[in-house]
């Protein structure tokens, strides 16, 4: 192994409400702040714990300013300089760019890693091994995505087609990337999985901060100038003043367009395949899968409610109330019982919860969003 890992700085962009998990997830209680696995830890806390041993000096978190109290409470060891609070949402380009710029200023040789706040990954050892290889591969001047070996022909994810070995001695699994492809239809997804050439694009990547910022500067010079100005002030008294002044002027753009696509076009992208189990907890069907251990009858119960009773029922109940919840003669049901909103759907239709949230927004019923 090289000394690259000593320059590794992971960070967590923690954004997005997770509308498909409404009414559990809300604008002020987004998915990443919730314990959705019954583990006793939020998804953010679990993600932080999974990363903290890899970094030399902590893990940076980028999130909305309104979530600061909850994040500080969940991550008391996170230093204030490692907590990037966005005054307003600006998409992933600004968040990931700013984190990279701050870390590059601290360590010019920084290799950064971006990991979503709301994914579930097991086992940690397999994940660590993949990240370490990705760091080694990144040290050769590549943006390295971690590709998850597919366990089913999912139509919900993008895929990465791998090419030949990258030929890096300290990262023997690392492969060149032939192409990134969008979410496929079911037949295409089956073909991808059968071929063995494709991995799920889980949105995790490792890259030299300098390389990432070079691509950002080339494709989005205005965004690059703004984040560099904020990063220059970050560890000074001027931090808040500069953040408040510059952040609102930054263009809104996803990191895929700002960095990943130009980097791929330049042949700067590689992939480390990994076979840990990965779940992006996309809907209540996922929550049901992840909570099989605490069944009452065939029903997974998530939350503090100890008064769930079932009679020939299966599915999931999420409830922190003390109400009796009685389920009789229903299969694959999803019941989410909160003080001001009740959702009843099925695991099959769990993806459509987002439509309901959109409808509520349209109707102005924002008190429950």
CA distance 194 to 29: 39
Q: Minimum Å distance from CB 148 to a second copy?
A: 29
- Shorter beta-carbon distance to a second copy: residue 23 or 113: 23
Tell me which DSSP letter residue 150 carries. P
Cα 357 to Cα 20, 189, 363, 365, distances in angstroms: 8, 29, 10, 9
Which residue's structure tokens are 């009685």?
A: 326
- Shorter beta-carbon distance to a second copy: residue 22 or 276: 22
Which residue's structure tokens are 């959702």?
A: 343
Q: Minimum Å distance from CB 38 to a second copy?
A: 20
- Shorter beta-carbon distance to a second copy: residue 220 or 345: 345
Q: Minimum Å distance from CB 187 to a second copy?
A: 24
DSSP letters spanning 193-243: HHHT-EEEEEEEEEEEHHHHHHHHHHH-HHHHHHHHHHHHHHTSTTHHHHH
CA distance 133 to 171: 5
Q: Minimum Å distance from CB 16 to a second copy?
A: 20
- Shorter beta-carbon distance to a second copy: residue 163 or 309: 309
- Shorter beta-carbon distance to a second copy: residue 151 or 355: 355
- Shorter beta-carbon distance to a second copy: residue 293 or 324: 324
- Shorter beta-carbon distance to a second copy: residue 23 or 93: 23
- Determine the 3-state secondary structure of 320 from DSSP: coil
Instruction: Judge contact between 332 and 347, C-beta under 8 A.
Output: yes
Name the site residues for a second copy (rule: CB under 8 A): 23, 307, 309, 311-312, 322-330, 333, 335, 337, 339-346, 348-349, 352-353, 355-356, 359-360, 365, 368
Q: Minimum Å distance from CB 154 to a second copy?
A: 20
- Shorter beta-carbon distance to a second copy: residue 23 or 58: 23
Q: Minimum Å distance from CB 157 to a second copy?
A: 22
CA distance 31 to 265: 34
CA atoms within 13 A of residue 135's CA, in its CB half-sphere? 25
Which residue's structure tokens are 């309104």?
A: 66
Q: Minimum Å distance from CB 322 to a second copy?
A: 8
Q: Minimum Å distance from CB 331 to a second copy?
A: 10
Say if residue 239 is exposed, middle or buried (CB neighbours under 10 Å; 0-12, 13-18, 19+). middle
- Shorter beta-carbon distance to a second copy: residue 178 or 369: 369
Strands 277-279 and 120-122: antiparallel
As given in the structure block, the two tokens for residue 360 are: 């509520």
The sign of the dihedral angle between the CA atoms of 337, 338, 342, 344 is negative
Q: Minimum Å distance from CB 365 to a second copy?
A: 7
Instruction: Judge contact between 122 and 40, C-beta under 8 A.
Output: no
CA distance 348 to 57: 43
Tell me which DSSP letter residue 130 carries. H
């Amino acid at each position: 192994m090289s000394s690259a890992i000593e320059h590794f700085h992971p960070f967590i962009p923690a954004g997005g409400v997770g509308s498909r998990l409404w009414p559990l997830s809300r604008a002020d209680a987004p998915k990443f702040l919730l314990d959705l696995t019954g583990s006793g830890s939020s998804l953010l806390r679990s993600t932080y714990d999974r990363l903290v041993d890899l970094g030399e000096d902590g893990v940076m978190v980028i999130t909305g300013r309104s979530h600061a109290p909850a994040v500080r409470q969940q991550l008391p060891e996170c230093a204030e300089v490692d907590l990037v609070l966005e005054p307003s949402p600006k998409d992933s380009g600004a968040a990931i760019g700013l984190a990279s710029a701050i870390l590059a200023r601290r360590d010019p040789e920084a290799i950064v890693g971006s990991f979503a706040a709301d994914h579930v990954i097991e086992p940690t050892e397999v994940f660590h091994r993949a990240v370490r290889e990705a760091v080694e591969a990144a040290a050769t001047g590549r943006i390295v995505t971690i590709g998850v070996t597919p366990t089913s022909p999912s139509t919900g994810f993008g895929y990465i087609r791998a090419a030949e070995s990258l030929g890096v001695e300290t990262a023997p699994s690392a492969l060149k990337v032939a192409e990134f492809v969008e979410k496929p239809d079911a037949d295409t997804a089956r073909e991808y999985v059968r071929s063995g050439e494709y991995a799920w694009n889980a949105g995790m990547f490792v890259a030299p901060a300098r390389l990432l910022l070079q691509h950002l500067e080339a494709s989005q010079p205005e965004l690059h100038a703004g984040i560099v100005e904020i990063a220059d002030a970050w560890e000074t008294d001027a931090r808040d003043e500069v953040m408040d002044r510059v952040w609102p002027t930054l263009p809104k753009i996803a990191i895929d367009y700002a960095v990943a696509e130009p980097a791929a076009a330049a042949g700067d992208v590689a992939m480390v395949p990994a076979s840990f189990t990965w779940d992006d907890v996309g809907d209540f069907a996922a929550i049901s899968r992840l909570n099989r251990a605490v069944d009452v009858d065939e029903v997974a119960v998530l939350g503090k409610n100890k008064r769930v009773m079932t009679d020939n029922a299966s599915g999931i109940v999420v409830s922190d109330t003390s109400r009796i919840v009685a389920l009789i003669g229903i299969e694959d049901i999803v019941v989410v019982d909160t003080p001001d909103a009740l959702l009843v759907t099925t695991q099959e239709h769990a993806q459509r919860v987002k439509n309901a949230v959109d409808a509520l927004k349209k109707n102005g019923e924002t008190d429950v969003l």
